[in-house]
Amino acid sequence: MAAISRGILISRQYSGLLGLQTTRNAGAWNKDWMPGPYPKTEEERLRAARKYGLRPDEYKPVPDDGLGAGDYPDVPLVSAESRNPFTNWDYPEHRRNFGEPLHQNFDIYGLDRVNASQQPRFSATHQFLSFASVMAFFLGTYYYFEDRKMHWPLQPRFSATHQFLSFASVMAFFLGTYYYFEDRKMHWPLLPKQFPKEGVTHYTFEKSE
């Protein structure tokens, strides 16, 4: 038990560096990490740029639409999966370099999560049309050949009507007998078994004393 808690404490120190999340540090939030208000003066802009490690000419805060991003920089959304896997990233499991500003919701754009910036090889419309055309081909050929089947050069021994009537009469016989005898079952000449029940008296055939 002690070893487990020690292990957790140690891994917590390392979780930021190695990207291993043995424990989540949600409880270690610091108020200083909260973004400040939207910068209005030039001085505020410079201070905000310095805070986020960006040059003043490349710092652009998220546009103020009243939804509270504050002075957080407008980082272009490139998911980890869309980034070049062969460059020498400082943090390969995030595909990110040291000091690179994080997107606001960067935690959902990791390698194992949403790839919002992917360029699919085929568009969604293309994919759907491929599927639909294959299905149309299969169904089309099936129904097209329903009346054009291969067969021996023979008349059927029994006509279709004859076959159907045979089937129907056999089924009628089975079902008819089954339902006819539902009320006419054989049984022993007994009344139902008497179980002791509250408020019900059962009698034998002997005289009462």
Partner 1 sequence: MGQVMSEYIGDPATRPDYTKSATFDPLYGFSEGRKERVMIATVEEMQSADLPQDSRDYCAHLAIEHRACRQNVWPLAYKCAHEKHQYLNCQYEDFVLRMKEYERERRLLERTERKAAKAAREELND
Q: Which tokens in the block code for residue 195?
A: 């179980």
Residue 173 C-beta: closest distance to partner 1, Å: 20
Q: Are 71 and 56 in contact, with CB atoms under 8 Å apart?
A: no
Residue 176 C-beta: closest distance to partner 1, Å: 16
Pick between residue 17 and residue 186 the one whose CB is nearest to partner 1.
Answer: 186
Pick between residue 58 and residue 209 the one whose CB is nearest to partner 1.
Answer: 209
Pick between residue 161 and residue 201 the one whose CB is nearest to partner 1.
Answer: 201
Pick between residue 31 and residue 193 the one whose CB is nearest to partner 1.
Answer: 193
Residue 179 C-beta: closest distance to partner 1, Å: 15
Which positions lie near partner 1, rule CB under 8 A? Answer: 184, 186-196, 201-209
Helices (H), 52-155: 124-145
Residue 177 C-beta: closest distance to partner 1, Å: 14
Q: Are 59 and 47 in contact, with CB atoms under 8 Å apart?
A: no
Pick between residue 98 and residue 203 the one whose CB is nearest to partner 1.
Answer: 203
DSSP-derived 3-state class of residue 200: strand
Q: Which tokens in the block code for residue 20?
A: 């291993």
User: How far apart are alpha carbons 124 and 141 in whole angstroms?
Assistant: 26
| DSSP code, position 61 | B
Please report where in the chains the tokens 């370099």 appear, as a residue: 97
User: How far apart are alpha carbons 49 and 39 in whole angstroms?
Assistant: 10
